[in-house]
Amino acid sequence: MKQELAVGSRVKLTAPMDVPGWCEYDDDRGRVSKHAKDVIRERFFKCDPKLTSEIVHVANETERTRLRRAGRTKVRVRLPSGDTIIITVELEKLTKA
């Protein structure tokens, strides 16, 4: 049975894994340092239970289509301290939290 994950769904990874080389984070215009972004991304892929993550809406239609064809989506990941980034993740690796 295929699981439907809608925009706003809280998600987590099905199993810990290494950060894929293609995984990138969106530009937040310097709100979070590059080191902090790398730490948050690494902790997300290591399935840190302290992080919260949810699927976000991609407003750009061409980007949304490109992500859908690749089987990926954008996820907002937040630390308890408030630092937040948006990263690209494969849909098949996600499950509801």
Domain spans, the chain: 11-96
pLDDT (mean) for 23-37: 90
- Beta bridge pairs of residue 78: 52, 84
| pLDDT for residue 1 | 42
Residue 34 phi/psi, 5° resolution? -60, -40
Q: Is the pLDDT of residue 84 over 50?
A: yes
Q: Tally Cβ neighbours within 10 Å of residue 71.
A: 10
Nearest to 38 by CA among 55, 24, 50, 48: 24
Query: What mean pLDDT, rounded, does the chain reach?
Result: 92
What are the structure tokens assigned to 76, written together? Answer: 């907002």
Q: Is the pLDDT of residue 3 over 80?
A: no
pTM equals: 0.90
| pLDDT for residue 2 | 58
Cα separation of 7 and 38, whole Å?
24
Classify residue 96 as exposed, middle or buried by CB count within 10 Å of its CB (0-12, 13-18, 19+): exposed
The band of 72, judged by pLDDT with boundaries at 50, 70 and 90, is very high
